[in-house]
């Protein structure tokens, strides 16, 4: 039965429970510091106060969830071609989204929604750094029909494929284009995102330390550490133990996070578009149209190359580069054959490498100056003026840092490449994870060239290519050669009328 989206629609009645749990989560997250104080103090609180707090929290959350449900409506205005959402608790907020600006409509389902058997719908545009509007709880059929209606404004044939993916009675059956198994996800989990995971662990540790400091309980953590006498009395054992613990935690974190996030990753091809579905706890369904792709990046390190897996990222139009992850589609654990198939679907053929441009050796010198010379100029005076430090051990750490950073910068410079062809531009970067960016010249929106005055006699300069998904830059190449290609790209941008959206 067709739904009339021209009339205001509400979420599913059972969705009140989803809104209740969502509101409860937000309240618990907001009161996390208070709960931490109670935990540090040994949970010393009377049962009466605890009971009253639980009852009060339940009543407040129930009222907020009910108001969120009753005040939330959505509909499509046929006169203005706008998607309109009303929401709020005590006062209503009106969100208006023009249909022609909608870039993605994602159908999602987290663990709670899966238990209750409802779905969420997220509407994204190219002009926002967050979801333009989000519906928390509607039926699967209503979600599919709403998605088709919203995408119908683009008059793209792939709209019908959005509903046909989940309808068994469709005449045209989609074909599975790519399915990533658990073994491939495991390979990606053990070979990637180490720095990111270490950063998350350190962020969590210092956040807890900061909270303990705010409530005057940092001595509790210091006492727990000092109780480990064998660690305190042996620096070598402390470093070794810390490294093993950190490696184990990062290893497990990467594997678990990758499997949970990308579980059952499936790409389905229909009418030239890709329908993507993945997720164990939070299931996400989205559609990728090749015409919307701005540029593609795939990366691979030494271990991934041996295991024949790589990570591929498809970037679409965004306005805020700081939040570019919203319109980035990631494909974890595909092999070389699958990568070529995806590129062929997006570009219609395999992108070919063009003329090779290399960066001047001064780029390596400048990188070494920034990462080695300047830090040493700051650290050495501090070490020499700190008698409590063991200078020999500190200088040993500094020498290790210098060797590691010099090696990293050398390989990063050797990898740095720029390939310029008639239809495609490719950039290669990285020292350990080697990344390859592929950009169609039709997607260029603007070009910036720059040259420092002391580089004029050396004939070296830099170029930045601006796209709707971000910028691609290449530094300190032959400036005359760059200008020659820039003139050709500018002529192509101004003379050709291409639809980059």
DSSP state string for 440-491: EGGG--EEEEE--GGGTTTTEEEEEEEETTEEEEEEEEEHHHHHHHHHHHHH
Residue 88 CB partners (closer than 8 Å, separation 6+): 67, 68, 71
And the tokens for 160? Answer: 């019908």
**What are the angstrom distances between the C-alpha of 289 and each of 269, 272, 433, 440?**
10, 8, 28, 15
Report which of 162, 150, 108 is spatially closest to residue 9, judged by C-alpha positions: 150
- Condensed to tens digits (0 to 9), the pLDDT of residues 480-490 reads 999 999 998 88
**Separation CA 386–CA 251 (nearest Å):** 37
What mean pLDDT, rounded, does the chain reach? 81
Domain parsing of the chain, residue ranges: 15-155, 289-358+416-495, 362-414
What is the structure's pLDDT at 161?
35
pLDDT at 155: 46
Query: Could you identify the residue written with the tokens 């530094």?
Result: 475
Tell me the CATH number for domain 15-155.
2.30.29
What's the pTM?
Answer: 0.74
**Reported confidence tier of residue 463, pLDDT bands at 50, 70, 90:** very high
Residue 213 has pLDDT above 50, yes or no: yes
pLDDT tens-place string over residues 106-115: 888 888 888 8
- Whether 434 shows a pLDDT value over 50: the answer reads yes
- Tell me which residue of 275, 350, 286, 288 sits closest to 317, measured CA to CA: 288
What is the structure's pLDDT at 167?
40
Each residue's pLDDT tens digit, 287-300 = 888 888 889 999 99
Contact 465, 472 (CB under 8 A): yes
**Orientation of helix 235-262 relative to helix 182-191, angle to 10°:** 150
Q: What burial class does residue 395 get, using C-beta atoms within 10 Å of its C-beta: 0-12 exposed, 13-18 middle, 19+ buried?
A: middle
Q: Return phi, psi of residue 414, to 5°.
A: -65, -30
pLDDT at 412: 95
Number of H helices, E strands in the chain: 17, 20
């Amino acid at each position: 039965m067709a739904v009339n989206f021209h009339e205001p629609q509400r979420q599913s009645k059972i969705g009140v429970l989803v809104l209740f749990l969502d509101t409860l989560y937000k309240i618990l997250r907001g009161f996390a510091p208070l709960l931490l104080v109670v935990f540090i103090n040994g949970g010393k609180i009377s049962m009466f106060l605890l009971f009253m707090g639980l009852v009060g929290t339940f009543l407040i959350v129930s009222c907020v969830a009910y108001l969120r449900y009753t005040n939330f409506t959505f509909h499509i205005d046929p006169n203005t071609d706008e998607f309109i959402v009303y929401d709020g608790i005590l006062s209503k907020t009106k969100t208006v989204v023009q249909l022609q600006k909608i870039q993605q409509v994602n159908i999602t389902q987290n663990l709670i929604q899966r238990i209750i058997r409802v779905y969420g719908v997220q509407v994204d545009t190219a002009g926002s750094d967050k979801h333009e509007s989000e519906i928390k709880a509607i039926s699967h059929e209503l979600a599919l029909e709403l998605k088709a209606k919203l995408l119908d404004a683009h008059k793209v044939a792939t709209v019908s494929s959005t509903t046909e993916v989940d309808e068994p009675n469709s005449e045209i059956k989609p074909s599975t284009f790519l399915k990533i198994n658990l073994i491939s996800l495991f390979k990606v989990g053990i070979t990637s995102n180490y720095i990111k995971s270490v950063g998350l662990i350190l962020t969590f540790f210092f956040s807890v330390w900061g909270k303990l400091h705010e409530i005057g309980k940092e001595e509790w953590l210091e006492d727990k550490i000092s109780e480990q006498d064998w660690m305190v009395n042996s620096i070598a054992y402390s470093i070794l133990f810390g490294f093993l613990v950190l490696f184990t935690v990062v290893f497990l974190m990467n594997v678990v996070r990758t499997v949970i996030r990308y579980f059952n990753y499936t790409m389905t091809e229909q009418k030239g578009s890709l329908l993507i579905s993945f997720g164990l706890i939070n299931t996400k369904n989205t559609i990728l149209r090749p015409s919307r792709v701005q540029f593609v990046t795939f990366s691979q390190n030494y271990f991934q190359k041996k295991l024949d897996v790589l990570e591929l990222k498809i970037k679409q139009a965004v306005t805020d580069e700081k939040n570019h992850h919203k319109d980035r589609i990631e494909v974890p654990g595909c092999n070389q054959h699958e990568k070529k198939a995806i590129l062929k679907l997006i570009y219609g053929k395999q992108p070919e490498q063009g003329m090779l441009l290399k960066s001047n050796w001064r780029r390596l010198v400048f990188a070494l100056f920034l990462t080695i010379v300047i830090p040493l100029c700051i650290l050495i005076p501090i070490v020499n003026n700190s008698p409590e430090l063991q200078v020999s051990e500190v200088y040993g750490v500094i020498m290790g840092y210098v060797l590691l950073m010099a090696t990293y910068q050398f390989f990063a410079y050797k990898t740095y490449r720029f390939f310029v062809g008639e239809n495609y531009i490719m950039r290669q970067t990285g020292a350990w994870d080697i990344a390859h960016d592929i950009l169609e010249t039709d997607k260029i929106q603007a070009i910036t060239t720059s040259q420092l005055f002391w580089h004029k006699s050396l004939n070296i300069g830099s170029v930045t290519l601006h796209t709707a998904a971000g910028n691609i830059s290449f530094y300190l190449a032959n400036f005359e050669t760059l200008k020659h290609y820039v003139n050709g790209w500018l002529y192509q941008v101004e003379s050709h009328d291409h639809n980059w959206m």
